[in-house]
Amino acid sequence: MVGLKTEWEIEPAPRECTLAEYKGAEARWCPGCGDHSVLSAVQKMARDKQIPPERIVVVSGIGCSSRFPHYMSSYGFHSLHGRPLPVACGVKSRRPDLHVFAVSGDGDCCAIGAGHWVHAIRYNMNITILMLDNSIYGLTKGQTSPTTRLGRASSTHPHGSPLPPLNPLTVTLGISNVSFVAQTVDWNPPHLSATIRAAHDHEGASFVRVLQRCPHFTGDVYADALEDRSQVLLMEHPDGIVLEPAMRERLKNRVDHDPRNLGEAFQLAARTDVYPVGLFYRNPDAVRYDLVTAHGLGKTPSEKLGAIEEAIERFAI
């Protein structure tokens, strides 16, 4: 009875989340867009790990990929252009119990959001960062992005991009306190899923660059890798991205790479003759800033008020 102490309590019924519980609005990306594959991989990973939808937060910026929160049946925050990472870090600092995903594009992350990108990697808070790279500004109709290939024509550079592209992998690997850098492709669902799962399992900021096709503007960019599997270089290691034997055998071009070797990670990330996929670098001992920001979260309202008054008192004259 209400208000009376009892010696028994009702155990909640076991809950099993189905795939349908993670699906939000119908995705309105173009048919053939690689974003569909990434969305499916995240939803299946959440289902397989039985993460309740109400424990997931997806934060995005602006761009085609940044429509991601609308298509997940979870908490979401569709932020300003280039700002998903500071928002994701803010969520994690106040709610360390939640599973936070930050989804960004090559323009959103590497151009207007570049400063936030650098500091989010350095903070190394426990968030999963998915950078979907289609080498173009797709939502705003085909402008040159930081990762657009040299000489490729666009609406802003009709005679071809005059600058060599930025390499998101080598940039991230060069940031102080980096702890997890990986690359995968949208057209290989097993590797895509295994990479996202490994990124989520990592306790720290996991940066995953997804080579992603845009059927409208850059449908030909990764055509060579689709037609010739040898163009994809699979990085292998027991501590890396582990594939099922059948899928592994389909990728004949393989290299052993220890993800603790930062120098070798740089060399592999800089290659332009192939598309390296797998885990470049992982440092589980990197400092996590979310463990610092969690200090004081358990205080009562009166304790918080007392701390504020104490801080203000220090400035009294």
Tens of pLDDT, residues 253-272: 999 999 999 999 999 999 99
Residue-level pLDDT at 297: 84
How far is the C-alpha of 92 from the C-alpha of 294, rounded, in Å? 9
Instruction: Yes or no: say if 263 and 284 are a contact pair by the CB < 8 Å rule.
Output: no
Nearest to 81 by CA among 140, 143, 34: 140
pLDDT tens-digit series, residues 113-148: 999 999 999 999 999 999 999 988 888 887 888 898
Query: How many CB atoms within 10 Å of residue 314?
Result: 6
How far is the C-alpha of 35 from the C-alpha of 178, rounded, in Å? 26
Q: Where are the domains of the chain?
A: 26-313
pLDDT band per the 50, 70, 90 thresholds, residue 184: very high
pLDDT tens-digit series, residues 156-180: 888 988 999 999 999 999 999 999 9
pLDDT band per the 50, 70, 90 thresholds, residue 11: low
Homologous superfamily (CATH) for 26-313: Thiamin diphosphate (ThDP)-binding fold, Pyr/PP domains (3.40.50.970)
